[in-house]
Amino acid sequence: MRISDYIEQSFSNLRKKKLRTFLTTSGVMIGIGALVSMLSFGRGVQKNITDRFKELDLFNYITVFPRSEQSQAKQSSANNEAEEDETQQVRVLDDDFIQEVTKIKGVESAFPEVRFPALVRFKGKQKFTLIQVLSADIGRSGLVKFRAGRPYAPDDANSLIISDILLRRMKVKDPQTAIGEKIEVSTLMLDSDLLSPANITSVIQGDKLPFSQEGYTFTIVGVAERMGFGGAMPLRSDVYIAPAASKKMKKVSLTSIQDFFQSSQQAKGYSAVNIKVSSVRYIEPVKARIEDLGLKTFAVIDELEEIKTVFIFMDMFLFALGMIAITVASLAIINTMVMSILERYKEIGIMKAVGASDRDVKKIFFFESGVIGFLGGVFGLALGWVVSMLINQVANYFLAKQAVPYIDYFSFPWWLCLGAVIFPILISLVAGIYPASRAARVDPVVALRHD
Amino acid sequence: MNSTSFIETEDLTKGYSSGQIEVVALKDVNLSVREGKFLGVTGPSGSGKSTLMNLLGGLDTPTSGRIKVQGKFISELNKEELALYRRYQVGMIFQSFNIISSYSALENVAFPLLFAGVGKKERKQRASQMLTKVGLCPRKDHRPPELSAGEQQRVAIARALINQPKILLADEPTGNLDSTTSRQIVQMLSDLNKNQGLTVIMISHEESLVRRFAHEIIHLCDGKIVEQEKIR
Ligand SMILES: Nc1ncnc2c1ncn2[C@@H]1O[C@H](COP(=O)(O)OP(=O)(O)O)[C@@H](O)[C@H]1O
Ligand SMILES: [Mg+2]
């Protein structure tokens, strides 16, 4: 018997029992539909995150931090020899370090992350924020997404870029209106008078901060889109200024409150250095080189691995749900096929009498089972797609009200579509094993005896 | 064994065991049929006629004894080879026609060609030709319920002959037919036997009908051949 004949036979036999075929196929369809929409949701969310990271080139960044004191302490206690302790110097994140790092194979550029607290005043509103020093190159690299305006020039000491979020917090709705406007920035400086033993108690009690202020005026040249993902990334501030601007300002430099208290030990150097590598494959070797220097590193790609494990768990959960549906569906297939065999008992006898082998009979029922799976898969994929589209539209409709841009929460990669059709075929073939071999065992003499 | 025999059995025995009771349906049957003969088989109900037919047709296997067809021991074939034997060497027709009621006459006749791996177009063409031979061409798209009993049996004959077998086995083909139609059907089998050299073995309890067409008759009783006569 030819393959095309098996397929044609299957379809024509299934057509004869329309209702039963429809009901059985529906079981598979619903199972696959659920599985498809759930998996495509998982994929969609994951794709959104990774695409956005990729778009921002974030996978190519390593952030380097000075080694924390705890880890130094650990290492010195592990090393009993005092000499070694002395030779192992703490590497300072200074310009020399940047020079050195730039020479490592695969490193494209390295730039210090200088951040300091400041008070910005704009159109009568006042906000406390961190200002980040960002070279003009980075500003122009595409890493910064502009909602309005443009990046500043390398030697521009009087311009800044502000984030849309901060603007909104200062009640400016349209980013365009802020371009060219003046903005006041007040830096904070450690006031050594206030840190004297006489005043320290009031500082600790929070009555008075050990800071004095210094004001500067800037022009807003650009409004940048604030990245929605937290963590140590090259850009994580609401205000960016050029290094030239930074030089003229008096300030304390810190990225966290710990930095502030550690500042006596690590007075020299930057609080962090960002390194851009030319390709993701350099991340690990470059990280290893830097960690050998006794420094801490962070790469977004590591965080992605963590995100991925979360998604693997989510996928597994969804998969388990879908599998329950599929198991129920395959029991329905077994039931349908066994019923079909009982009904077509005599027909099986006829097949054998006119020359069908056991294998022919087995294959006929096997194909029939497979066709149920195929139909269930195709319609299930369609169902899953329709449901996903509906949910996507509804979700975006409500999220649009909260100014969230349109996102496809569902993704249909080719393997999902292919799998949605192939998987139920395999499942129903497995479900068809018992009925098919039972059909093959039918004794034609018994089946054809006229009673 | 006789070398001129076309179909030959040697101490053919078939027993059925249903539970603890052992039924011997056929006991030490020695039969010899030469090519191109028309053999009639008669006997009371339960005498083992159908059992003999199913063994000769390769639908069943003997408990002991051998069957030789065209020089080959078909009782020694495996299941796969037996299927090929049924497909190409023998055609079978039955009292209850055993045609598929949801298929048209044409589809029924073409059905064996499916297992022979014949292409769709050729299947239709050959089935159509075969239906013309049994005089049913105008009714080829009708389903069995729309056909008379005689027409249904003719569909069954066309189906049995579609793979051009040398042997036709008929198990009470006239059992569900009136006397006129019965005569027409047996006449058709006789014509096939005469004109195409088809070896026919036909079971019937209507002795007069068998006597009119068969070359030889055997009488079965309790699974044994009790009488064997040559008519012409
Ligand atoms: N599958 C079977 N299981 C048990 N007994 C059977 C089976 N087939 C036939 N028999 C028995 O074998 C005997 C011969 O049956 P059969 O060949 O059908 O007789 P006939 O066709 O001459 O009426 C009967 O007694 C019948 O009951
Ligand atoms: Mg009988």
Distance to chain B for A428, nearest Cα, Å: 24
The per-residue pLDDT for range A237-262, each reduced to its tens digit, is: 788 888 888 777 776 655 444 444 44
What's residue A208's pLDDT?
58
Judged against a pLDDT cut of 90, whether residue B104 lies above it is answered with: yes
Percentage of the residues of chain A whose pLDDT score is greater than 70: 78
Ligand 1, closest atom to CA A443? 1
Contact criterion met (CB below 8 Å) for B189 and B200? yes
The per-residue pLDDT for range B21-48, each reduced to its tens digit, is: 888 999 999 999 999 999 999 999 999 9
* Entry pTM: 0.69
The per-residue pLDDT for range B112-139, each reduced to its tens digit, is: 999 999 999 999 999 999 999 999 989 9
Q: How far apart are CA A25 and CA A23, in angstroms?
A: 5
Distances in whole angstroms, Cα of residue A349 to Cα of each of A60, B26, B99, B100, B115: 69, 22, 11, 11, 14
Residue spans of alpha helices (H) in A263-409: 283-292, 300-343, 345-353, 358-400
Give the Cα-Cα-Cα angle B175, B177, B182 (nearest 5 degrees).
95
Judged against a pLDDT cut of 70, whether residue A369 lies above it is answered with: yes
What's residue B28's pLDDT?
94
What's residue A38's pLDDT?
83
Tell me whether A347 touches chain B (CB under 8 Å).
yes
What's residue A230's pLDDT?
39
Q: How far apart are CA A126 and CA B119, in angstroms?
A: 85
Phi, psi of B13 (to 5 degrees): -130, 135
Contact criterion met (CB below 8 Å) for A243 and A156? no
Ligand 1, closest atom to CA A446? 1
| Structural domain boundaries in chain B | 1-89+165-232, 100-164
Percentage of the residues of chain A whose pLDDT score is greater than 90: 25
Q: How far apart are the first and last CA of chain A?
A: 31
What's residue A56's pLDDT?
63
Buried-state track B135-167, b at ≥16 Cβ within 10 A, e below 16: ebeebbeebbeebebbbbbbbbbbbbbbbebbb
Better-scored residue on pLDDT, A164 or A268: A164
Round the average pLDDT of chain A to a whole number and report it: 80
A15 contact residues in B (CB cutoff 8 A):
none
Contact criterion met (CB below 8 Å) for A69 and A262? yes
What's residue A293's pLDDT?
82
- Contact at CB, A354 and B115, closer than 8 angstroms: yes
- Nearest residue CA, atom 24 of ligand 1? B46
- E strand residue ranges, A208-309: 211-224, 239-241, 272-277, 296-299
Distance to chain A for B114, nearest Cα, Å: 6
Token digits for A289? 């080189």
CB atoms closer than 10 angstroms to residue A76: 15
- Report, as an integer, the average pLDDT of A418-443: 93
What's residue A280's pLDDT?
81
Q: β-strand B199-203 against B167-171: which pairing, if any?
A: parallel
- Report, as an integer, the average pLDDT of A28-45: 86
Q: How far apart are CA B106 and CA A339, in angstroms?
A: 27
> Which residue on chain A is closest to B157 by alpha carbon?
A354
| Identity of the residue numbered B45 | S
The per-residue pLDDT for range B79-92, each reduced to its tens digit, is: 999 999 999 999 99
The per-residue pLDDT for range A192-251, each reduced to its tens digit, is: 565 566 665 655 565 556 666 778 899 999 988 775 443 335 566 788 888 888 777 776
Tell me whether A7 touches chain B (CB under 8 Å).
no
- Report, as an integer, the average pLDDT of B54-74: 94
Residues 313-342 (A) with a CB less than 8 A from some CB of B? none
| pLDDT level of residue B152 (50, 70, 90 thresholds) | very high
Phi, psi of A275 (to 5 degrees): -120, 130
What's residue A253's pLDDT?
52
Token digits for A416? 């999902």
Q: Which ligand is nearest to the CA of B51?
A: 1
Q: B1-89+165-232: which CATH number, 2.40.50.100, 3.40.50.300, 1.10.8.420, 1.10.1330.10?
A: 3.40.50.300
| Structural domain boundaries in chain A | 3-55+306-449, 114-254
> Which residue on chain A is closest to B115 by alpha carbon?
A1
Among the ranges given (A304-313, A417-426, B69-78, B160-169), the one the predictor scored with the smallest mean pLDDT: A304-313
User: B222: burial class by Cβ within 10 Å (0-12, 13-18, 19+)?
Assistant: middle
Q: How many A from CA of B220 to the centre of ligand 2?
A: 12
Phi, psi of B99 (to 5 degrees): -105, 155
Judged against a pLDDT cut of 60, whether residue A73 lies above it is answered with: no
Distance to chain A for B187, nearest Cα, Å: 23
> Which residue on chain A is closest to B102 by alpha carbon?
A16
Contact criterion met (CB below 8 Å) for B173 and B95? yes
User: A300: burial class by Cβ within 10 Å (0-12, 13-18, 19+)?
Assistant: buried
Phi, psi of A187 (to 5 degrees): -90, 165
